[in-house]
Structure 1
Amino acid sequence: MNYFIMSHDERVYNAVKPMGVSQVITKEMLDEEHIRKMNKVHFQFPISEQNEAEYVDFIQKPIPLVSDRCKQLMEKYVPHMCFKSVVLTDQKQPRQDVYWLIVPPRVHCLSVENEFHKDGTVKRLIIDEQKAAPYKIFRIDGILEDYILISLDVAESLLRRGFTGIRLKKVEKEGVYER
């Protein structure tokens, strides 16, 4: 099976940008246990002011957020994945949109062939397909980066439905060199 890194499409220059998120939700809180504890907490963040902001289906930073439509599709593939609602508010124009903080499970699936830079970041990401095979949407355990990986069938579903703001990059598999 093929896997893809799901990232924000930087070609969408006017994508909405939530503000003040890092002061409320830290990277250490981005695990299933912390998110489930915050079940009764409601998050609302303003977006940065810009002319004609585009409400994309995936916001990668500062935390991974997906649109309601994208969440519905992901739940079909991973029904028990942890999501937390987040409201993005445009104060200039009276508009509020529900996005979902996505917290995929962390999977230890790094290949021994993986290569790292001296600072510990990934130089060449290679996964062990057998360890990743049971998962459709997941994060990689054991690396500094917070990549979200999706399986080929999830990627195809996203592409067929015209989601915006999503870029996909194929991940190498152990023993297969795709240069």
Structure 2
Amino acid sequence: MSERYFLIGTDESYEPLPLMIDMRKSIKEEYLEEGESYKQAGISLVNIRNSFDEHTKYPDIMDQGIFMLSDEAYRIFKLYEPATVIKRVLLMGESSDEAYEYIIPILKRIDCLSDRTTFRRGRYIDKGILIGKNIPDTALFKIPSVDGMSTVARLDFVESLLKRGMKGICLQALEIEY
């Protein structure tokens, strides 16, 4: 098992991102958990406001409330976790017939964030510390944090993404306590 982990999400400087205007109507976060995912539709439609102009950027990882992978990033993830249940999302423009597909992997929720973790502005993980004995042998998983759920990626998966030129990804190294 790799012993390096990262918080993974969308790079905030990778903009302008598409503005999702009705995600909560189409996708229920409580149904994106193991054992509950059968309640969420296999494919959901989410409207995007003014998103198909030449300046809008579609990152390979989007975590605007819900963690999603582009099709290309999902192909890499599938090499590491082929049995993961997924849901699909079509991002549709209001005034366009174009659509972008993203995949929502139904990730394990693991309580492995140490009490020694520090937060900035009371919400965001500043110095993340994971409890080593609680970390699962999986490439990607969720941890509960003050601001909801954060997604953690194992080093080998992160390296695979970066070697293949995935864009719009933000990484923050985590420490392990034993």
What TM-score, normalized to structure 1? 0.84
Contact 1:84/1:101 (<8 A) preserved: yes
For residues 1-179 of structure 1, the aligned pairs below 5 Å read 1-39=3-41, 41-50=42-51, 51-52=53-54, 53-115=56-118, 124-141=127-144, 144-174=147-177
Contact 2:26/2:46 (<8 A) preserved: no
The alpha-carbon distance between structure 1 residues 55 and 119, as it changes in their structure 2 partners (threshold 3 A), is closer
Residue 152 of structure 1, CA deviation: 0.4
Between the aligned partners of 1:101 and 1:133, the Cα distance in structure 2 is: 20
Between the aligned partners of 1:155 and 1:57, the Cα distance in structure 2 is: 12
For each residue in 1:76-108, what CA deviation from the matched residue of structure 2 results, as whole angstroms up to 9, or x when unmatched? 111122210111112433211211122210112
Partner of 2:116, secondary structure, is coil
Alignment gaps of 5+ in structure 1: none
Contact 1:139/1:146 (<8 A) preserved: yes
Between the aligned partners of 2:135 and 2:33, the Cα distance in structure 1 is: 19
Aligned AA (2:111): H
The alpha-carbon distance between structure 1 residues 126 and 158, as it changes in their structure 2 partners (threshold 3 A), is same
Where do 4+ consecutive residues of structure 1 move more than 6 Å?
A: 116-121
Between the aligned partners of 1:35 and 1:57, the Cα distance in structure 2 is: 23
The alpha-carbon distance between structure 1 residues 121 and 62, as it changes in their structure 2 partners (threshold 3 A), is closer
Partner of 2:36, secondary structure, is helix
Between the aligned partners of 2:124 and 2:172, the Cα distance in structure 1 is: 17
Alignment gaps of 5+ in structure 2: none
Identity, % of aligned positions = 25
Aligned AA (2:32): L
Residue 173 of structure 1, CA deviation: 1.4
Between the aligned partners of 1:21 and 1:10, the Cα distance in structure 2 is: 19
What TM-score, normalized to structure 2? 0.84
Between the aligned partners of 1:24 and 1:84, the Cα distance in structure 2 is: 12
Question: Bigger CA drift: 61-70 or 17-26?
Answer: 17-26
Q: Aligned pair count?
A: 174
